[in-house]
Amino acid sequence: MAERSLTRKLTASLVPALPYLWLGVFFLVPFLIVLKISLSDPAVAQPPYKPVFDWSDIAGFFSQLDLDNFETLVGDDLYLSATLSSIRIATISTILLLLVGFPVAYAMARAPERHRPLLVALVILPFWTSFLIRIYAWIAILKPEGLLNQGLMALGAISEPLTILNTEWAVYIGIVYAYLPFMVLPLYAALEKMDDTLLEAALDLGSPPWRSFWTITVPLAMPGIIAGSLLCFIPAVGEFVIPDLLGGSETLMIGRQLWSEFFSNRDWPLASAVAILLLIILVVPIVIYRDVEARRLETES
């Protein structure tokens, strides 16, 4: 019996141990390696950086580390402007997402109850189709001789084709398009729970609709607004595919910089330093997002 309860205990402890171990090996350790390599010097070798770790020489290991790569990052205007422009593009995109997403989420929450599951499914469906393909679709629409310009010129709205592809505008359109479900779903979840009688009461008491919107709807939707904004802002800062395919060579973004340090310049230590920089920018929004999510899960259960 004692033996049996021992095996039972062992099986039971495997449940947390296996995923724990997996994430430790494939998430935590790789992350520490990035940190280490960002502090190393590049070497003309394969792999192109100084060795990772030598047990026999721990003091030597630490003395090799330096902040040269971070000095490069701070000293070079390219990285500063890439960082600032990533934050700017992500911020503007998030605001645009709120402007586009809020009316859609609001209308979904006001729709007859039996239609709502279908509407939610329709918002999620594009998310299941390839991200790359959905961005690719916009190239054909936005290019100078593309479908949008063809349509607008046929309608007589413009006489000269608009240049949208390979500008920052194309990046905004791409981000809003690709991330819209991430904004709409948290907003919808918050708005759906809203009690209509509050709005009716406000109306009865003589509050104009716009004021009821700002004093009742927006505060009640706030958890959804915060969750949706963070859910869009965080990945947008590190976005690579959208600026690369739609933004042209002019659009600087930090995720793209990391990619080119790694693939074009083969400077792995500098690419690692860019990764650490990107993480430092995102650590505050990520922590806030985790708190918001934890609180939401608590109130739901």
Binding to other proteins (CB under 8 A): which residues in 141-200? 141, 143, 145-147, 150, 177, 180, 184
Interface mask (CB under 8 A) for other proteins, residues 55-74, using x and -? --------------------
What is the number of alpha carbons within 13 Å of residue 38 lying toward its C-beta?
Answer: 20
Residue from 10, 12, 84, 203 touching other proteins (CB under 8 A): that is: 12
Q: Which is nearer to other proteins, 104 or 226 (CB)?
A: 104
User: What is the size of the binding site for other proteins (CB under 8 A)?
Assistant: 89
Residue from 126, 192, 216, 292 touching other proteins (CB under 8 A): that is: 126
Binding part of the chain for other proteins, among 20-28, 76-84, 152-160, 221-229 by CB under 8 A, reads: 20-28
Q: Which is nearer to other proteins, 142 or 168 (CB)?
A: 142
Interface mask (CB under 8 A) for other proteins, residues 83-122, using x and -? -----------------x--xx-xxx-xxxxx----x-xx
- Tell me which residue has tokens 């985790």: 290
Long-range contacts formed by 112-119: CB under 8 A, 24+ apart = 116/192
Q: Which is nearer to other proteins, 100 or 226 (CB)?
A: 100
Of 289, 258, 293, 286, nearest to 272 (Cα)? 258
CB distance 181 to 175 below 8 Å: no
Q: How far is residue 282's CA from residue 186's CA, in Å, rounded to a whole number?
A: 20
Binding part of the chain for other proteins, among 73-81, 200-208, 217-225, 269-277 by CB under 8 A, reads: 269-277
What is the nearest approach in angstroms of other proteins to the Cβ of residue 171? Answer: 15
Of 178, 289, 190, nearest to 234 (Cα)? 289
Q: How far is residue 120's CA from residue 181's CA, in Å, rounded to a whole number?
A: 9
Binding part of the chain for other proteins, among 75-83, 91-99, 132-140, 154-162 by CB under 8 A, reads: 132-140
CB distance 189 to 224 below 8 Å: yes
Residue from 6, 10, 33, 203 touching other proteins (CB under 8 A): that is: 33
Q: Which is nearer to other proteins, 37 or 89 (CB)?
A: 37
Binding part of the chain for other proteins, among 58-66, 77-85, 159-167, 270-278 by CB under 8 A, reads: 270-278
Residue 295's alpha-carbon distances to 223, 231, 236, 290, in angstroms, are: 10, 15, 24, 9
Residue 81 has a CB neighbour count (10 Å cut-off) of: 13
Q: Which is nearer to other proteins, 141 or 162 (CB)?
A: 141
What is the nearest approach in angstroms of other proteins to the Cβ of residue 133? Answer: 4
Decide if residue 288 touches other proteins (CB under 8 A).
no
What is the nearest approach in angstroms of other proteins to the Cβ of residue 152? Answer: 14
Q: How far is residue 100's CA from residue 104's CA, in Å, rounded to a whole number?
A: 7
Q: Which is nearer to other proteins, 168 or 258 (CB)?
A: 258
Residue from 10, 43, 47, 265 touching other proteins (CB under 8 A): that is: 47
What is the nearest approach in angstroms of other proteins to the Cβ of residue 5? Answer: 10
Considering only residues 215-244, where is the footprint of other proteins by CB under 8 A?
231, 234-235, 237-241
